[in-house]
Structure 1
Amino acid sequence: METFKKNRLKTIFKSPEKKVSIYFTAGYPALTDTLDLLSLLAESKVDFVEIGIPFSDSVMDGEVILESHKVALENGMTIEILFDQIQKIRAQVSIPVVLMGSMNPVYQYGFEKFCQRCHEAGVDGLLLPDLPLDEYEKYYRVWYQQNDLAPIFMISPQTNGDRMKRIDELGEGFLYALSGNSTTGSTSEIGDNSEYLQRLSNHKFINPVVLGFNIKTKDDILFANQFADGAIVGSAFVKTLKGGFNKERTKHFLEQLM
């Protein structure tokens, strides 16, 4: 099960405290903001960071994150630039980093090379929502293992018990539990799926479970913590970056969130 020995995600989830994670899109709002954002989040009480790999045809994201992908690509963000940025700042920050994106750009880059660069840059986990479990087991698991890279998978209200068990057995680091069936940043509330959330709480998972999608406020985080081991804030954070990264404004948002 525990194939990654130096992985920071393994360390942070050893403590029982509930975790808070922030998602942002690499290269947004400006190409070099990735470094400043990582530095600021590392200074805050955020436990780990999810960085989105910008892609023009992302299917799970709502309007806010799709727009951030568009701007990041226009800014010239590439996978190689992202790896260089993370590697550059790793001497200064130790916060765990998870990359999230679509299979297409990773496949185009070269999957084995991508995993190797993750290891070199200091990436801890990889979440590819459109990577089928069977293909992960058959073709890609070995590259995750060779590069101390945690395979992170998603579960949703449609995931039945048997599939949850299989996802849990194959995943490492944590399981990303969608709060509902909508895209990121929708108007849905995380309390709209109370039966599913209770099912998550009652299930005996091997891995920690972190709830994401439509978590916007401190109250949302506290609600999520009743059912999971932590929460991820995405679109609400990305909204604060629109128009340019302002450190004080971003710090204020994070303070209100914690």
Structure 2
Amino acid sequence: MIKFKENRLKAIFQNAGKKLSIYFTAGYPDLYDTIPILELLAKSNVDFVEIGIPFSDSVMDGEVILNSHKVALENGMTIDILFDQLEKIRKKISIPIVLMGSMNPVYQYCFEEFCRRCHEVGVDGLLLPDLPLDDYEKYYRSSYQQKNLAPIFMISPQTSNERMSRIDALGEGFLYALSGNSTTGGSSEIGKSSDYLTNLSNHTFRNPVVLGFNIKTKEDIQFAHEFADGAIVGSAFVKILKDGFDKTRIEHFLKQLI
């Protein structure tokens, strides 16, 4: 069996300190904003980024991110265009890139070809929340491994300790831990599942754990860091982009987080 190799995503967690990631949707707010946003995030103190692949039927996302998917698709964003945009990005930035999206468009694209293009443009990890763990293990693991893509999986308050251990054994890069049971941006605060978060911090994981969903402020990030190795800001950042790409506004938002 081909073993997973070191890549940028694994390397950052070998360095001391808690991590911060930002999520944004490819092709939003404008088709050609993906690279300027990525470059701006790379110049900040963000440790890695998640780029959402827009899809018309995303099941886990709340209103803010669903709307960004709708606008991106209306702008004409496709997987091919995203890969074309990312093609030369490694000449400019070095922070890890994770692609996040639904299995349907990736499957329609051809999974093996998708992984090949990810590897070519320098993507480090892939998070497909609706990819069943059994299917990954039986059909898709070799594609990840051959192209050195970290398979990233989610855990939630409903995930048993036994299943957490299995997910941890199959995953690489980091484990994406949902802060609660709502959709993205669906709650005004985090921290209601304190038993779950305490269990996360006490559980022995092979991979780093990063907390996501409903993390909006510096205080939220600090709270997440009490229980996990990193935090992800998504909907709050996408909201900042609603009125268009504005470098000053984005920089101000990021400064408020760090």
Fold shared by both chains (TM-score > 0.5): yes
Corresponding residue of 1:68: 68
* Offset, 1:115: 0.4
User: 1:171-210 maps to which residues of 2 (within 5 A)?
Assistant: 171-210=171-210
Unmatched 5+ stretches in structure 2: none
Identical-pair percentage: 77
* Offset, 1:84: 1.2
Corresponding residue of 1:77: 77
User: 1:80-159 maps to which residues of 2 (within 5 A)?
Assistant: 80-159=80-159
CA offsets per residue over residues 113-140 of structure 1, 9 Å max, x none?
0000000010000000000011000000
* Offset, 1:6: 4.5
Structure 2 counterpart of 1:40, one-letter code: L
* Offset, 1:7: 1.3
Q: Distance in 1 between matches of 2:95 and 2:36?
A: 13
SS at match of 1:214: coil
Structure 2 counterpart of 1:253, one-letter code: F
Structure 2 counterpart of 1:115, one-letter code: C
CA offsets per residue over residues 72-129 of structure 1, 9 Å max, x none?
0000000011111112222100110000000000000000000000000100000000
CA offsets per residue over residues 3-40 of structure 1, 9 Å max, x none?
33351011100012000000000000000100000100
Kindly tell me: are residues 12 and 6 of structure 1, through their superposed partners in 2, closer, same or farther at Cα, counting changes over 3 Å?
same
* Offset, 1:2: 9.4
Q: 2:89·2:121 contact (CA, 8 Å) conserved in 1?
A: no
Q: Distance in 2 between matches of 1:42 and 1:134?
A: 35
SS at match of 1:251: helix
- Segment of structure 1 superposing worse, 230-239 or 185-194: 185-194
What number of residue pairs does the alignment pair up?
A: 258
Structure 1 counterpart of 2:89, one-letter code: I
CA offsets per residue over residues 186-221 of structure 1, 9 Å max, x none?
124211111100000000000000000000000000
Q: 1:184·1:235 contact (CA, 8 Å) conserved in 2?
A: yes
Q: 1:125·1:173 contact (CA, 8 Å) conserved in 2?
A: yes
Structure 2 counterpart of 1:88, one-letter code: K
User: What root-mean-square deviation, in Å, do the aligned CA atoms of Structure 1 and Structure 2 show?
Assistant: 1.1
Segments ≥4 residues shifted beyond 3 Å: 1-4
Normalising by structure 2, report the TM-score: 0.98
Normalising by structure 1, report the TM-score: 0.98
* Offset, 1:52: 0.3
Q: Distance in 1 between matches of 2:82 and 2:71?
A: 15
